[in-house]
């Protein structure tokens, strides 16, 4: 007799499963139920399966709203492929007693690596020079602009969690001076602390956005902060696009009010402001800070581990805490 | 009465002077005499000025040969804008009692920074993703390949001088394991030492070429070494192009016998093998490892300082030692 396994709802295709391959996710404790494979409208699909769905897998852009939860009374866990849970209605989950598990710290090193990579790339014009050379311009003309030295830079880190701290430790090895702002001063570091992000921006050459997106951080990097960063200043964002007022940042870049940007995240992904495409003082990547084979396999283990723990009433491996 | 200052011969235009601006080089102790501004053939030009030329400024690609020195009996100093002196006939200079001054360690940090930037770029596909995004592909399709994690890599450094050691210290902050080969074992480090570069390549995931170009290192990275590095292996070269057998490296990249490359230098600059232009597992830059505003200004001070010291019979600031 076939045993009916509990369903884990997958709302949208996620590169995590697509790139790693579905066979990696086989489990004897649950099956994935993909809303996007069904011809039914989402609400009808959810109503049809409302009692078999016990958990939800959510990735960036796959919103878990109060409306959806309303239709799924049996859901006891939302597990995310991301560190940030800004796509999940966390208060509604709490109200319904739904547990939350995120990607924990699995990605911290990869994200910190990319943050430093984007910074080196912007300052030393790596992607721009790669394009210059592939266009065959090296042999025909010599107008390649000078880059800027990494080592003497004052770097301001916005959000000194696992990722921000990883960025700081890496940049120290390049001779950068680190300061930071964060919700609270961290007792374990001696880096200068600023309570206001504007004050941090005014005292650094590079602003690294390493915090999560919340109501408090939405558009936190606004006109005032960008103006404090100034026309020699560079911004790197590996947090979430909407932490920066993107329209204002693009205006500053267009008008030379800041010097450059390294951006892995955008306010309306996958849309990227077209003005950026013509600039060689910006480096753009499609939200790939966590995209390594190694971390994807670690995440697979964590994600399947969290789901199996939930279905066997064991403690979650990476329960999310606000 | 106009005082006639001694001439410093400049053989070829150098980006160093072009990008920084000539006014930076004004001195009351000497003037620059540019062979390339004259309509005369080089030998005729040199014969005309043979007794006024007391020193030569040499940059990458501006060869100082025995033939040239033969025409200039009064030359007592060759000063280079580079760290390596492979474009200078050093034995002939020694024989003639000509002093040599190079760029010293001014560029070490910049070169180490770019080496790490190229490695992150290759492993995490930064330049490739920048191009992908600018082509507008993010919104239309999802086939972006996964990168590879930096932290778990075994990195083999070829040449543990100032630059190689700088690369090692930076990569340690990313969690990489470092080993090296060098002419001699370095007593001040505990990194595993390999006498043979093939053995180093066989025991690492990434080979960083940080040595100078000499008769001994010419084509040192050959078929055997690349084969030992293997199909998961990545090579980064910020030394000189001809340290690698470029034709063989290109063949290995085309046939998938190594995984990728980050190249700032090439065997026949400014020519770059065309096969590389179509590859998104290579990152190419036009010999810009030393190209920062800050280092160029430091070099200007060092270069003018060396020339003024020479013309006032003071010790050179950065005398070259083999």
* Number of Cβ within a 10 Å radius of residue A47: 13
CA distances from A58 to A88, A89, B9, B306 (A): 8, 11, 67, 63
Residues A131 and A224 in one domain: yes
Please name which of A59, A109, A76 lies closest in space to residue A303, comparing C-alpha atoms.
A59
Q: Which is nearest to B120 in space by CA: A112, A315, A319?
A: A112
Task: Say if residue A267 is in the same domain as residue A128.
Answer: yes
* CB contacts, 8 Å: A145 with chain B: 19
Asked if residue A115 and residue A97 are part of one domain, the reply reads: no
Which percentage of chain B shows pLDDT scores above 70? Answer: 98
pLDDT at residue A3, as a whole number: 65
What is the three-class DSSP state of B4? coil
Does any CB of chain A come closer than 8 Å to the CB of residue B248?
no
pLDDT in tens, B212-264: 999 999 999 999 999 999 999 999 999 999 999 999 999 999 999 999 999 99
For chain A, the domain total comes to 2
Q: Give the one of A134, A169, A286 whose C-beta lies nearest to B284's C-beta.
A: A134
Mean predicted lDDT score pLDDT of chain B: 94
pLDDT of residue B16: 82
- Answer for the pair A7, A52: CB distance below 8 angstroms, yes or no: yes
Q: Residue A130: its chain B contacts at CB < 8 A? A: 121, 127, 283-285
Of A121, A269, A284, the CB nearest to B121: A121
- Whether A251 is in a domain gets the answer yes
Name the token pair of A262. Answer: 């390294």
Separation between Cα atoms, residue A156 and residue A200, nearest integer Å:
6
Among B146, B167, B147, B172, smallest CA distance to B157 is for B167
pLDDT at A239 over 80: yes
Instruction: Answer yes or no: is pLDDT of A28 > 70.
Output: yes
Confidence of residue B185 (pLDDT cuts 50, 70, 90): very high
A265/A181 same-domain check: yes
| A316: in domain | no
- Reply yes or no on whether the pLDDT at B197 is more than 90: yes
Q: Are B130 and B265 in the same domain?
A: yes
Q: Using alpha carbons only, what angle is made at residue A76 by residues A73 and A78, rounded to the nearest 5 degrees?
A: 110
* Structure confidence by residue, pLDDT tens digits, A52-100: 999 999 988 889 999 999 999 999 999 999 888 889 999 999 999 999 9
Of B15, B146, B277, the CB nearest to A296: B146
Closest to A174 (Cβ–Cβ): which among B113, B134, B277?
A: B113
Q: Is the pLDDT confidence value at B181 over 90?
A: yes
* B296 has pLDDT over 50: yes
Do B119 and B213 lie in one domain? The reply is yes
Are residue B122 and residue B89 in the same domain, yes or no? Answer: no
Do B121 and B84 sit in the same domain of this protein? no
Compute the average pLDDT of residues A1-18: 83
Give the pLDDT confidence score for residue A13 in this predicted structure: 86
Q: Which residues of A97-125 are buried (b: 16+ CB within 10 A; e: fewer)?
A: ebbbbbbbebbbbbbbbbbbbbbbbbbbb
A314 by Cβ neighbours in 10 Å (0-12 / 13-18 / 19+) ranks as exposed
**Residues spanned by the domain of B235:** 108-284
B81 lies in the same domain as B179? no
CB of B35 within 8 A of CB of B10?
yes
DSSP per residue over B71-105, as a string? H-TT--EEEESSS--TTB-HHHHHHTT-EEE--TT
Q: Do the chains contact at A291 and B110, CB–CB below 8 Å?
A: no
Q: What is the pLDDT of residues A242-272, one digit of tens each?
A: 999 999 999 999 999 999 999 999 999 999 9
What pLDDT, on the 0 to 100 scale, is given for residue B1?
45
Asked, for residue A117, whether it belongs to a domain, the answer is yes
The predicted-structure confidence for B68-93, as pLDDT tens digits, reads as follows 999 999 999 999 998 888 899 999 99
Cβ within 8 Å, pair A174-B170: yes
Tell me phi and psi for residue A180, to 5 degrees.
Answer: -155, 160
CA dist., res. B164 & res. B238, Å (int)? 10
Could you tell me the CATH number of the domain that includes residue B11? 3.40.50.720
Residue A131 carries which DSSP code? Answer: H
pLDDT score of A101 more than 90: yes
Do residue B101 and residue B117 come from a single domain? no
Positive/negative CA dihedral, B295, B301, B302, B303: positive
B149-to-A170, A172, B125, B136, B154 alpha-carbon distances in Å: 15, 20, 11, 26, 11
Distance CA A38, CA A101 (A): 26
**pLDDT: which is higher, A307 or A25:** A307
Q: Is the pLDDT of residue B2 over 70?
A: no
Assigned domain for A317 exists: no
* Distance from chain centroid for Cα A104: 13
Domain-embedded: residue A264: yes
pLDDT in tens, A269-322: 999 999 999 999 999 999 999 999 999 999 999 999 999 999 999 999 999 987
The burial of B22, by beta-carbon neighbours within 10 Å (0-12 exposed, 13-18 middle, 19 or more buried), is given as exposed
What tens digit of pLDDT does each residue of A148-205 get?
A: 999 989 999 999 999 999 999 999 999 999 999 999 999 999 999 999 999 999 999 9
pLDDT in tens, B43-55: 999 999 999 999 9
Q: For an interface test with B, which of A16, A146, A266 has the most B Cβ atoms less than 10 Å from its Cβ?
A: A146
**Per-residue confidence (pLDDT) for residue A1, from 0 to 100:** 45
Residue A321 inside a domain? The answer is no
CB contact under 8 A, B149 and A113: yes
Weakest-pLDDT range from A281-285, B1-5, B36-40, B194-198 = B1-5
Pair B171, B237 in one domain: yes
Q: Is residue B101 part of a domain?
A: yes
**Annotated catalytic residue: which of B92, B199, B224, B269?**
B269
CB-based contact B291 A146, cutoff 8 Å: yes
Segment A133-137 mean pLDDT: 91
Contacting A residues, span 123-162, partner chain B, CB-CB under 8 Å: 123-127, 129-134, 136, 138-139, 142, 144-152
- One domain, residues B129 and B164: yes
**For residue B292, what are its two tokens?**
């920062």
Active-site residue B251, yes or no? no
């Amino acid at each position: 007799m076939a045993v009916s396994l509990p369903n884990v709802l997958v709302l949208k295709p996620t590169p995590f499963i697509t790139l790693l391959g579905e066979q990696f996710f086989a489990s004897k404790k649950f099956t994935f139920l993909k809303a996007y494979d069904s011809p039914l409208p989402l609400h009808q699909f959810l109503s049809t399966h409302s009692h078999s769905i016990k958990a939800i897998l959510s990735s960036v852009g796959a919103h878990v709203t109060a409306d959806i939860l309303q239709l799924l009374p049996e859901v006891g866990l939302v597990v995310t492929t991301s560190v940030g849970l800004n796509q999940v209605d966390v208060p509604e989950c709490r109200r319904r007693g739904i547990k939350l598990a995120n990607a924990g710290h699995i990605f911290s090193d990869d994200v910190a690596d990319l943050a430093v990579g984007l910074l080196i790339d912007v300052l030393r014009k790596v992607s721009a020079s790669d394009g210059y050379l592939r266009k065959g311009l090296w042999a025909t003309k010599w107008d390649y602009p000078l880059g800027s030295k990494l080592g003497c830079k004052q770097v301001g880190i916005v959000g000194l969690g696992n990722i921000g701290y990883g960025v700081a430790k890496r940049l120290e090895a390049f001779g950068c001076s680190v300061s930071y702002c964060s919700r609270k001063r961290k007792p374990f570091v001696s880096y200068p602390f600023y309570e206001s992000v504007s004050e941090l921006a005014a005292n650094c050459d590079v602003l690294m956005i390493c915090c999560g997106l919340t109501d408090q951080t939405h558009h936190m990097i606004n006109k005032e902060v960008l103006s404090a960063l100034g026309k020699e200043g560079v911004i790197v964002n590996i947090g979430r696009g909407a932490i920066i007022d993107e329209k204002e940042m693009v205006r500053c870049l267009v008008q030379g009010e800041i010097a450059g940007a390294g951006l892995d995240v955008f306010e309306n992904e996958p849309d990227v402001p077209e003005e950026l495409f013509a600039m060689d003082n910006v480096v753009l990547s499609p939200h790939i800070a966590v995209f390594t084979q190694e971390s994807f396999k670690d995440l697979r283990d964590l994600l399947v581990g969290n789901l199996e723990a939930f279905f066997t009433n064991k403690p979650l491996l990476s329960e999310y805490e606000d």
